[in-house]
Amino acid sequence: MKSQKILVTGAAGFLGSHLCDTLLAEGHTVVGLDNLSTGNHANLAHLANEPSFSLIEQDICKPFDPGPVDYIFNFASPASPVDYTRLGVETLLVGSAGTINTLDLARKYNAGYLHASTSECYGDPEVHPQVETYWGHVNPIGPRSVYDEAKRFSESAVTAYHHYYGVDTHLVRIFNTYGPRLQANDGRVISNFMIQALRGEPLTIYGDGSQTRSFCYVSDLIEGIVRLSRSSEHLPVNIGNPVEWTILECANEILSVTGSKSSIERKPLPQDDPTRRRPDITKARNLLGWEPKITLRQGLEKSLQYFKDCTA
């Protein structure tokens, strides 16, 4: 497709930085935007001399205008339990005021728009696997609610701007993703286990380890997101790996990949922690011709050196 000027909010984050790489490789000009509350300059250090990339340090909750753009990818938000617990009000604001500000930009410049939503919209699901038509089972005042409800509101806002103003919007519901640049201390399963295993510390499992997750390698996820951005679909689309792992199985796979002799340590299950999580990706397969290619074993091997460097 022709070269575009693309705005990526949350550009210094895990997913945002990988998205910038993909868009630049396609020949686009990318304006990254991040307030660096959870993003990291190191994720973009390799783009320091890239003439087609620029970074603006900006909070999207405050009005801003980078000038005309052809497309907006809104990836700004704390995403890890550690971050959204620490920045609860900020998480609510970025999902509401921040999302509205970016939608207003898309409306002003007649730009395409894709919003990064989350499988957390399904909460602790009563439907399994999770299909996009399921409305979810979310505690609106629980410890995870600042993230869950921020994303649920932002989906409503994005949908409203499409219905009322004709903005060309897209919604991706992202399931557990991992790979290089994932924060080492972000409280998520893969990063926790990899760091603990490489340090020889006990791997912390909450509950009995029978709860499930589905893990998608970052390059697979970004490919699905880019395909969705070029589709005519305006309703949410799940992008994730449909292969379901128990937390205990994941821990054992990581012990195998790292060669670690770490033991398993069990702690109480946190409140509202989902017991099952697996995407139904029928819509992504049919609509986008997309499905993940990289197995958990392959992805962990691809990520190993990054996590080794984090522990050095």
Average pLDDT rounded to a whole number, residues 289-309:
98
Residue 289 CA to residue 80 CA, distance in Å, equals 29
CA-to-CA dists, residue 191 to 38, 52, 116, 298, 302, angstroms? 16, 31, 21, 16, 13
Average pLDDT rounded to a whole number, residues 273-288:
93
* 250 has a pLDDT exceeding 90: yes
* 248 has a pLDDT exceeding 90: yes
By CB atoms closer than 10 A (0-12, 13-18, 19+), residue 176 is buried
- Mark whether 147 is an active-site residue: yes
Average pLDDT rounded to a whole number, residues 219-244:
98
pLDDT at 53: 98
Other C-beta atoms closer than 10 Å to the C-beta of 5 total 17
Range 152-169 burial, b when 16+ CB lie within 10 A, else e: bebbebbbebbeeeebbb
What's the pLDDT band for 276 if we cut at 50, 70, 90? confident
Q: What is the pLDDT of residues 46-104, one digit of tens each?
A: 999 999 999 999 999 999 999 999 999 999 999 988 899 999 999 999 999 999 999 99
Q: What is the pLDDT of residues 14-39, one digit of tens each?
A: 999 999 999 999 999 999 999 999 99
- Does domain 189-211+244-278+296-311 fall under CATH 3.30.465.10? My reply is no
- At 199, the amino acid letter reads R
The CATH class for the domain spanning 5-178+216-241+280-288 reads alpha beta
pLDDT at 275: 84
Q: What is the value of pTM for the model shown?
A: 0.95
Percent of the chain with pLDDT over 70: 100
Q: What is the DSSP letter of 209?
A: S
pLDDT at 80: 87
Instruction: Choose among 136, 149, 153: nearest CA to 274.
Output: 136
* 273 has a pLDDT exceeding 80: no
Domain boundaries, the chain: 5-178+216-241+280-288, 189-211+244-278+296-311
Q: Can you name the residues that pair with 34 across neighbouring β-strands? A: 57
Token pair 């409140």 in the structure block, residue: 271
Question: H or E segment at 24?
Answer: helix 14-25
Question: H or E segment at 278?
Answer: none
Which residue in 113, 147, 161, 178 is the catalytic one? 147
Helices of type H across the chain: 14-25, 81-86, 88-93, 99-109, 145-165, 189-199, 218-229, 247-258, 282-288, 296-311
